[in-house]
Amino acid sequence: MEGSLAPDGGPVPDTLKIVVAGGFGAGKTTLVSALSEVESLHTEEVMTSESVGVDDLNGVESKSTTTVALDFGRITLDASTVVYLFGTPGQRRFSFMWEELAQGALGAVVLADTRRLADSFDAIDFFESRGVPFVVAVNCFDGQLTHRAEDVRVALDVAEGVPVLLCDARERESVKEVVVELVSLVLRLELSGA
């Protein structure tokens, strides 16, 4: 709010919201943790026998926890701008949270796992249908490049105007490049009036 003051007497910074979405086990919690300047908030719960037959663990057999509500992190760009990161749960049964988390978002990162690429379709469809700008970030687990970005674009049938990037969700610098690309996309869309 213009003219408001922060507790330290300075101006209240502008806030931007970015949503991180994608399939179950794609690395969303890891990405938010890698980028956040503060200890990120996670709503991770241990997976129990109740998830057997509900959650598909193919490709992520060693996964033992899951996000049940959201992940949250913060990045201060400068004295006047703060970015809040909201990570969504990956399983379809928690998709009702996506609507709430996406409300007011500047844009989104769809984190793709090439071991389970089809899990990306729900997030891509969600943001496309709501007109929320997004980039696709292909998580190169353990730093291993298994597919080229253009091959992933074709497999996901992502429009040419949507950036598809390779990243390592564990590496802060790699994830920063993804967020910079998202902000650049949003600015290009604003300037073009799209």
Which is higher by pLDDT, 177 or 63? 177
CA-CA distance, 26 to 118, in Å (whole number)?
11
Which pLDDT score, from 0 to 100, does residue 70 have? Answer: 76
Q: What are phi and psi of 180, to 5 degrees?
A: -60, -40
Q: What is the pTM of this model?
A: 0.79
Sheet arrangement for strand 14-22: 41-46, 65-78, 81-87, 14-22, 107-112, 134-139, 164-167
Q: Which helix (H) or strand (E) holds 183?
A: helix 172-192
Q: Are strands 41-46 and 65-78 parallel, antiparallel or unpaired?
A: antiparallel
Whose tokens are 């408001």? That residue is 4
Per-residue model confidence as pLDDT tens digits over 6-35: 556 665 558 899 999 998 888 999 999 999
Per-residue model confidence as pLDDT tens digits over 32-49: 999 999 877 555 656 555
Q: Kindly report the average pLDDT of the chain as a whole number.
A: 82
CA-CA distance, 135 to 124, in Å (whole number)?
9
**What's 14-192's CATH class?**
alpha beta
Which pLDDT score, from 0 to 100, does residue 101 have? Answer: 85
- Where is average pLDDT lowest: 10-14, 17-21, 126-130, 145-149? 10-14
Domain ranges of the chain: 14-192
How many C-beta atoms lie closer than 10 Å to residue 73's C-beta? 24
Which is higher by pLDDT, 52 or 174? 174
CA-CA distance, 184 to 162, in Å (whole number)?
11
